[in-house]
Chains A and B, each alone.
Chain A
């Protein structure tokens, strides 16, 4: 799903442009509905026993990631963004991973986990 193009300066083309944006609006509404239903699904799933608490966490995080992905891709237009933005985000993603690796490091002197 691409982003609406920049508005045309030519008034005669404006009608067509507005129509184009209108199509996107329908998409946004659908994504909104999808997000709401995913929220309901997360809540419902948390009352289903998947065996271990870990499995429940994994399922909930999976749904959350899906929702976050929808928000990022459609609402934040990441589905079709310029290369520069992706580059910044790839770097950031890498360093966030480093940050989460920190948890493991902070544990490391606890004999229990060796």
Chain B
């Protein structure tokens, strides 16, 4: 699979003028084909980006509503509380007070939207689409039409998910995991449409999201394998491309089993089968008229068979972005490139055999538990290698604290906290106590919220000049960064305490449960911590306003910059900003690795991948490097 530098210039037996693609160049595409139903990877990437950002904000808004109920249980939400019943229906927030069902809907949809409509479209699809072909020197993705189909599938899936808020009974309310048999009987019975109800629409919407991810994954892998520029061997790929490559494989192989599960749950709900429904279920005092014989545990296995690799789908693109920005802003080669690559491959492989650690509470036998504990602990090793390599990359660098770098440096400790707090959860004895508490919430949010989302912000600030030819404003970037960082920690740090005091993640209001967690920590009971957390969440919502304004303002009025404003080395910076259709003016050829910063004996501190290696340079590099190595 090694594409060496000696790649032959490919001689196509059929000259391009005969190809179907060439005809498109002669006439200008219409507005619809150019900006809406586009097959250009950059336009699709930007479409994905907007979709992802909008859904991220929407999912965050759902959580801000839930935080009101948690901070002030049973009290009427001022102003907005009066509006919401008009939007979501009278049954959701009568008199501004949230009903338990609506709270459950918000929780389930927050998880679903954030994971599958926020981060996956943004981290994997948007950045992958926009950056990967540019970084590997390709004119577009391997299958541009499939690419378009994948975007429109996620679009339809998102619309279906949103629609589910407005059907009788409201959106899905069985958690983002949709555990059966609860999810199998939720939203059924009188008052619910047999098809247009929250849970069924959730399943149907999910099929579209899965389709989109599968098409995207196929496209990414084929593109990376087939369309790398001449000379861009596997070990010369930027780490971001590696991360996307592994992510795509995770989506490709982990999503179909969940799709099978979704189809079966859909059959359970629509055709009254019993794939996941055990015999002898009694609902509302009446025995269910189903054949029974199914297994709820089977759903959990199928779900987590996807959902654990999904965790890495969420974090790996973030790590890739961080790697690019770290090397660029510390003006140093990324430390341990090879070990990073092998770590990310190992993570990809191992992530398929750790899934049952989400299911300690189902009472698995000790042998199976032991197996999954072991693999779970093993998978922490490559993660630690990656994080360590990132930290070491900073050592001795001349760091530029640009806005992307601020988010990147914040990513490192945040991801560290998230990762290390996961280790107790890997042991089933500790997890029996912590399972489904706010400790778990805090743990995985530290990875995806101040982890992945910070990486995404960093990526947006970093590649914004490539997409628009203009930079985002530095000052307002800082105004965005600092409050976000403070609020993130104010939100999630106390949740570890709450969780250790036993606060359950799905509690709608305290009731008996809250009195249990009444122990005082730092002057507040676990329950009282909800108020400061909620205020921090709302403040963080406000802190996003500078970002939104900065983002839109800079598209038109940002500082104009050249093609390589960050003085980076990878191939995307050799293309014009914004890159035209077909990306590169001259087809790039890679002559060197992705992070050739601060090469000795050069007048610039960065050497781009397409700069040929001069004969004198080789000798000089050896002469300088050898004493260092000895």
Which residues of A approach B to under 8 Å, CB–CB? 9, 83-84, 87, 91-92, 95, 98-99, 102, 105-106, 108-109, 114
What's the dominant secondary structure at chain B's contact region?
A: helix
Interface residues of B in 293-320 (CB under 8 A from A): 295, 297-298, 301-302, 305
Cross-chain contact B253 with A106 (CB below 8 angstroms): no
For the complex, give the distance between the alpha carbons of A98 and B178 in Å.
22
Q: A91-B253, A105-B364 are in contact. List 18 more A-B contacts (CB 8 A).
A: A9-B13, A84-B1, A87-B1, A91-B249, A92-B253, A95-B253, A98-B305, A99-B305, A102-B298, A102-B305, A105-B301, A105-B356, A105-B368, A106-B297, A109-B297, A109-B362, A109-B364, A114-B365
Question: What is the chain A residue whose CB lies nearest that of B257?
Answer: A99
What's the Cα separation between A95 and B257 when bound, in Å? 10
Bound: A109/B362 CA distance, A: 8
Could you pull out 23 A-B pairs where Cβ atoms are within 8 angstroms? A9-B13, A83-B1, A84-B1, A84-B225, A87-B1, A91-B253, A95-B253, A95-B352, A99-B257, A99-B305, A102-B302, A102-B305, A105-B301, A105-B356, A105-B364, A106-B298, A106-B301, A108-B368, A109-B297, A109-B362, A109-B363, A109-B364, A109-B365
What is the minimal beta-carbon distance from B539 to any residue of chain A, in angstroms?
44
A residues in contact with B305, CB < 8 Å = 98-99, 102
A87→B356 CA distance, assembly (Å): 26
CA distance A91 to B305 in the complex (A): 15
Partner of B295, one of A9, A99, A106: A106
Q: How far is the CA of A109 from the CA of B1 in the complex (A)?
A: 44
Q: Hey, which chain B residues are within 8 Å of A114, CB to CB? A: 365
Q: Chain A's nearest CB lies how many Å from the CB of B508?
A: 29
The 4 closest A-B pairs by CB, nearest first: A106-B298, A102-B301, A106-B297, A109-B363
Contact between chains at B353 and A98 (CB < 8 Å) = yes
- CB-defined contacts of B225 to chain A, threshold 8 Å: 84
Least distance between A97 CB and chain B CB atoms (Å): 10
Which residues of B from 356 to 407 have beta carbons under 8 Å from A? 356, 362-365, 368
CA gap between A14 and B237 in the complex, in Å = 41
B343 → chain A closest CB, angstroms: 18
* Complex Cα–Cα for A83 and B297 (A): 38
Closest-CB distance, A80 to chain B (whole angstroms)? 18
Residues of B contacting A95 with CB < 8 Å?
Answer: 253, 352
Complex-state Cα separation, A87 to B221, whole angstroms: 13
How far, in Å, is B554 (CB) from chain A's closest CB? 42
B297 — which chain A residues lie within 8 A by C-beta?
Answer: 105-106, 109
Hey, which chain B residues are within 8 Å of A83, CB to CB? 1
B368: chain A residues at CB < 8 Å are 105, 108
What's the least CB distance linking A88 to chain B, in Å? 8
User: Taking each of A9, A109, A114, which has the highest tally of chain B beta carbons within 10 Å of its own beta carbon?
Assistant: A109
CA distance A41 to B295 in the complex (A): 35
CB distance from A89 to the nearest CB of B (A): 11
Docked Cα-Cα span, A109 to B366, in Å, equals: 11
* Nearest CB on B from A30, distance (A): 32
Bound together, the chains give a CA A92 to CA B305 distance in angstroms of 14
Give B255-301 interface residues, CB cut-off 8 Å to A.
257, 295, 297-298, 301
Q: Closest residue to A9 on the B side, CB-wise?
A: B13
Cβ-closest chain B residue relative to A104? B368
Which residues of A sit under 8 angstroms from B302, Cβ to Cβ? 102
Q: Please pick, from A87, A91, A108, the residue contacting B365 in the complex, using a CB distance under 8 A.
A: A108
* CA distance in complex: A102, B249 (Å): 20
A71 to B185, CA, bound (A): 42
Contact residues in B for A92 (Cβ distance below 8 Å): 253
A86 to chain B, nearest CB (A): 11
Q: How far is it, in angstroms, between the C-alpha of A92 and the C-alpha of B253 when the chains are bound?
A: 7
Could you say which residues of chain B place their CB within 8 Å of the CB of A87? 1
> Closest Cβ of chain B: how far from A98's Cβ, in Å?
6
By beta carbon, the residue of chain A nearest B225 is: A84
Bits for B201-228, please: 1 = Cβ < 8 Å to A, else 0.
0000000000000000000000001000
Question: Which residues of B lie under 8 Å from residue A9 when comparing CB positions?
Answer: 13
A99 to B253, CA, bound (A): 11
In the complex the two chains form, what is the Cα distance from A99 to B13 in whole Å? 44
- Residues of B with C-beta under 8 A to A91: 249, 253
In the bound assembly, the distance between CA atoms of A83 and B353 in angstroms comes to: 25
How far is it, in angstroms, between the C-alpha of A36 and the C-alpha of B584 when the chains are bound?
53
Least CB distance from B205 to A in Å reads 24
A59 to chain B minimum Cβ distance, whole angstroms, is 26
Write out, one digit per residue, whether chain B residues 1-26 have a CB within 8 A of any chain A CB (1) or not (0): 10000000000010000000000000
